[in-house]
Amino acid sequence: MKQTHSTMGTFRKSAAALCMCAATTFAVSTPAQAKDGQINVMLFAGPIASFTQQNLPAFEKESGIKVNLTIIGGEVINTKTSTELLGSGTSFDVISIRGDSMPFYGTKGVLADLTPYLKNTKLTPADYDLKSVPDALMNFYRWDNKQVGMPWQVASYVTYYRKDLLEAAGLTHPPKTAAEYRDYAQKLNAPPKVYGTGLTMQKSHNLTSEYFQWLSTFGGGVIDSHGKVILDSPEARQALEYYVSLRKFAPEDVTNWAYERLTTALSQGEVAMAVQWTDTAAVMLEPKHSKVAGKMAFAAAPVAKMPAAVIGGWGLNIPESSHNKEDAFKFITWATGPVMSRKVADLGGTPFRTSLLRDKNLSVKFPWFNAQADAEEVAVPRPRTPAWPAIDDAMSTILSRVVTGRLSVDEGVTRMAAAAKKQIGN
Amino acid sequence: MRDADIERKPPWRRQVFPYVLILPGLIYIAVTTLVPLVYSFWTSLTFNRATSTQPPHFSGVQNYVDVLTDSSFWNAVRVTAIYTGATVAAEMILGTAIALLLIKLTRGRKLVRLLLIIPFSVPPVVIGLMYLLIMDRSYGILNYLLSLVNIGPVSWLSSPEIAIWSVIGVDLWQWTPFVIISAVAALESMPGDVIDAASIDGASSMQMVRWVVLPLIKPVLLVVALTRALTSLKVFDVIFVLTNGGPGSATETLSYMVYVDAFQRFDFGRGAAVSWLLILIAMVVAIPMVRSVLRSDVA
């Protein structure tokens, strides 16, 4: 009997270990409702969130508002945000949300309209300088004539290229067109030492975004101005054929590369070029982490038929259910204000204010600032439809099958169009 | 309350009393388990898509019809079946075999057992991140080791043909130790006189394992197999970190599909329908196993 007990004990211990594992997975707690003079803030993890955290004591001292900060990374924050906002009301007063989700949350009516706060001179500091925030960015966080968020962390697709490798190959300027980009990728492709281009073809929104960049410059789109799905247009077909053709000059495992892995590949000199978001550019300049410091340069994304730069990033939003909206708005004006923006820019964080992006001293120090400013002039937002999260996911599954050769380009565009039509209902 | 006090009560009260005692537990289980189950079943019968402008409404079995006629569901069933079948079979065979060797260790068995706890005590997300580095085609140690014997590089996670086996490999690393520990515990609790009797009767080592040891530890192995089958059917976290269900749909399991439908596409009705189909599949797998466990217990 004693031996049986010992067996049961082992089982119990194993079960306890199992429960521990299950309980610790993805456990992100929600704080209690903030008291007066306090706010709960949830930010997307990244350099700007860390910087905001470091500077928080100054804000708390100046404003008298205590900030309970939660920082969450990766896809987890998207799931957390949806469960917080679509449930019975969240205790967060400020949430950073991906810009392309604005139509979705905007339609649900779960985000507060910041327009009255922006117009209120008592709440919006005189030096907030809204004029230096590009319209394209403000519109990115607008839905149904309501300003449902403010830009905070922005990024656009630009070309990252190794100027030393281009020079060695006799290429005198960065690739300006899509055809040139592919030619360059072919010329620079010298595996296993260096590959012509890096790509983010893992089944995720990175894949959809990257394809959407090429789709936009080929003159295509997901929906037209009447809301009709155009994912099977000739332009979409051309864009996908072109995108798939780049894989020949990329490492074989790019079909499992997301944004972070591409950043590593660029900074470790594994790939010569990539069309990538600007918010990882600072990593390239750090000699401690980057083998390409001083060798990486930046230019506008290659153009096929029309200049286009898909715009992305994270905004700061106030849930409609917040009990401390005014304090939350004060936090937003501080975190996105000119002083913090300048501090972020001085450290190499991509600012969203044109005045900083075009600052000559800063653009010498951080060479992608000009490319970002140019990108904002031809900014393309992701489709402005509440169904976008569902379309994005359906597209990523189909695109992943196309880039791994499981589906032809023709089948891919047809299926993407069908999936989008099902979501939109046309 | 003393036994004598209970015996003094009328018979009907004596019969009711145990139920009164377990009532708080029953209420707790009902609230935390049954209510969400019933709610999710109701959700599966509604059109409840957050990306749609239509409000949630009752749609009967439409979600089930949609799911069952969708090739991605059958792909997820196939992937889940391969994953569960391969992991449970390999872990049971490997785990039992290693346990039979381990039981012969006279020194250091406790230390080995302690080390074996590590893989299944680590959160799956951490394991996923660890293997993301180990299996990286360019920088991963796995390909480095293979390169020493002129093999590879292998695209562990980016090839649709290989990715599912890589994920299965990670599961084997994590859960085989659990089977070993359980089997060792069962072996240690075997009655020694039966083994002695078999030895005296001249049974060879193989005969001893086949006809004496395995039948004796069968009840434990069945419970372990049942636990492993149910956790494999629900696998999500490691796949989420390693492959996102890709490349294509090569590693998209039913649990991952529930996540995608409910939290990526915000189609809660469809997500609930897939989760109920997963429950049905789990029951189909579990019921015969539970019967075997009960039969072996009785035997």
pLDDT tens for each residue of B115-149? 999 998 999 889 999 999 999 998 899 999 999 99
Distance (Å) of CA A19 to CA A13, A15, A320, B122, B225: 10, 6, 36, 11, 17
- Cα–Cα distance for residue pair B145/B187, rounded to 1 Å: 35
Quick one: which H or E segment has residue A85?
helix A76-86
Q: How many alpha carbons fall within 13 Å on the CB side of residue B164?
A: 20
Q: Please report residues of B whose CB lies closer than 8 A to that of A386.
A: 51-53
| pLDDT score for B2 | 62
| pLDDT score for B178 | 95
Distance (Å) of CA A371 to CA A48, A136, A179, A217: 20, 16, 20, 16
| pLDDT score for B5 | 67
Which residues, in sequence order, are CB contacts of B241 under 8 Å at separation 6+?
Answer: B124, B125, B128, B129, B132
Distance (Å) of CA A284 to CA A19, A161, A206: 42, 11, 20
Q: Please report residues of B whose CB lies closer than 8 A to that of A108.
A: 50
The answer to whether the CB atoms of B121 and A17 lie below 8 A apart is yes
Which residues, in sequence order, are CB contacts of A274 under 8 Å at separation 6+?
Answer: A159, A160, A197, A198, A199, A262, A265, A266
Name the residue facing B181 among A14, A270, A423 (closest C-beta).
Answer: A14
Interface of A with B in 256-295 (CB under 8 A): 256-258, 261, 264-265, 270
- For residue A409, give how far its alpha carbon lies from the nearest alpha carbon of chain B (Å): 14
CATH superfamily of B66-298: MetI-like (1.10.3720.10)
Closest residue of chain B to A84, computed from CA coordinates? B263
Q: Please report residues of A whose CB lies closer than 8 A to that of B53.
A: 107, 386
Tokens 């304090």 belong to A327
Which residues, in sequence order, are CB contacts of B204 under 8 Å at separation 6+?
Answer: none
Query: Are the C-beta atoms of A386 and A224 separated by less than 8 Å?
Result: no
Is A326 an 8 Å CB contact of chain B?
Answer: no
Which pLDDT band holds residue B7 (cuts at 50, 70, 90)?
low
Query: Are the C-beta atoms of B143 and B154 separated by less than 8 Å?
Result: yes
Query: Are the C-beta atoms of A114 and A150 separated by less than 8 Å?
Result: yes
Which residues, in sequence order, are CB contacts of B132 under 8 Å at separation 6+?
Answer: B157, B241, B242
Tokens of B116: 């074996």
Would you call A305 exposed, middle or buried from its count of C-beta atoms within 10 A (0-12, 13-18, 19+)? middle
- Cα–Cα distance for residue pair A205/A259, rounded to 1 Å: 10
Quick one: which H or E segment has residue A297?
strand A296-300
Tokens of A189: 């492709």
Query: Are the C-beta atoms of A25 and A69 separated by less than 8 Å?
Result: no
| Count of other CB atoms within 10 angstroms of residue B145 | 12
Mean pLDDT per 10-residue interval, chain A, length 426 residues: 39 36 48 82 90 93 94 84 85 94 93 95 89 90 95 94 96 96 97 95 94 97 93 97 97 93 95 94 90 95 96 94 94 95 89 91 92 92 92 95 95 97 82
| pLDDT score for A248 | 96
Name the residue facing A256 among B125, B158, B260 (closest C-beta).
Answer: B158
Which pLDDT band holds residue B152 (cuts at 50, 70, 90)?
confident
Task: Give ∠ CA B7-B10-B15 in degrees, rounded to 5.
Answer: 80
**Nearest CA-CA partner of A98 in A39, A155, A27:** A155
- Cα–Cα distance for residue pair A86/A81, rounded to 1 Å: 8
The answer to whether the CB atoms of A21 and B50 lie below 8 A apart is no
- For residue B184, give how far its alpha carbon lies from the nearest alpha carbon of chain A (Å): 9
| pLDDT score for A3 | 41
- Cα–Cα distance for residue pair A351/A152, rounded to 1 Å: 8
| Partner residues linked to A317 by β-bridges | A95
Output the pTM of the full model.
0.87
| pLDDT score for A19 | 35
Name the residue facing A397 among B123, B178, B249 (closest C-beta).
Answer: B249
Q: Are strands A309-317 and A94-98 parallel, antiparallel or unpaired?
A: antiparallel
Beta strands in chain B (DSSP E): 46-47, 57-58
Looking at A252-256, A359-363, B204-208, B261-265, which range is the least confident one?
B204-208
- Cα–Cα distance for residue pair A154/B159, rounded to 1 Å: 33
Is A408 an 8 Å CB contact of chain B?
Answer: no
- Cα–Cα distance for residue pair A417/A230, rounded to 1 Å: 7
Query: Are the C-beta atoms of B64 and B41 separated by less than 8 Å?
Result: no
Which residues, in sequence order, are CB contacts of B143 under 8 Å at separation 6+?
Answer: B135, B136, B137, B152, B153, B154, B156
Q: Are strands B57-58 and A309-317 parallel, antiparallel or unpaired?
A: unpaired
- Cα–Cα distance for residue pair A311/A376, rounded to 1 Å: 7
Quick one: which H or E segment has residue B279?
helix B268-298
pLDDT tens for each residue of B267-281: 999 999 999 999 999
- For residue B1, give how far its alpha carbon lies from the nearest alpha carbon of chain A (Å): 27
Is A149 an 8 Å CB contact of chain B?
Answer: no
ipTM above threshold 0.90: no
**Nearest CA-CA partner of B239 in B285, B161, B171, B153:** B171
Question: DSSP letters of A303-354?
Answer: BSSS--EEEEEEEEE-BTT-S-HHHHHHHHHHHTSHHHHHHHHHTTPPP--H
Distance (Å) of CA B116 to CA A414, B44, B122, B182: 50, 41, 11, 11
Helix A205-217 vs helix A234-245: crossing angle, to nearest 10: 120
pLDDT tens for each residue of B11-46: 777 788 888 999 999 999 888 989 999 999 999 999
| pLDDT score for A13 | 38
| pLDDT score for A6 | 40
Domain with CATH 1.10.3720.10 in chain B: 66-298
pLDDT at B77 over 90: yes
| Count of other CB atoms within 10 angstroms of residue B215 | 12
Domains in chain A and their CATH numbers? 38-155+313-370 (3.40.190.10), 156-310+382-424 (3.40.190.10)
* Rg (chain B; Cα; Å): 24
Query: Are the C-beta atoms of B292 and B64 separated by less than 8 Å?
Result: no
What is the 8-class DSSP label of residue A58?
H
DSSP 3-state of A12: helix
- Cα–Cα distance for residue pair A63/B44, rounded to 1 Å: 48
**Nearest CA-CA partner of A211 in A188, A194, A231, A229:** A231
| pLDDT score for B290 | 86
Query: Are the C-beta atoms of A407 and A418 separated by less than 8 Å?
Result: no
Q: What is the mean pLDDT of chain B?
A: 90
Q: How many alpha carbons fall within 13 Å on the CB side of residue B161?
A: 3
Query: Are the C-beta atoms of A14 and B186 separated by less than 8 Å?
Result: no
Which pLDDT band holds residue B107 (cuts at 50, 70, 90)?
confident
What b/e sequence results for A224-258 when a residue is b if at least 16 CB atoms lie within 10 Å of its CB, and e otherwise?
eeeeebbbbbebbbbbbbbbbebbebbbbbbbbbb
Would you call B120 exposed, middle or buried from its count of C-beta atoms within 10 A (0-12, 13-18, 19+)? buried
Closest residue of chain B to A412, computed from CA coordinates? B248
| Partner residues linked to A96 by β-bridges | A316
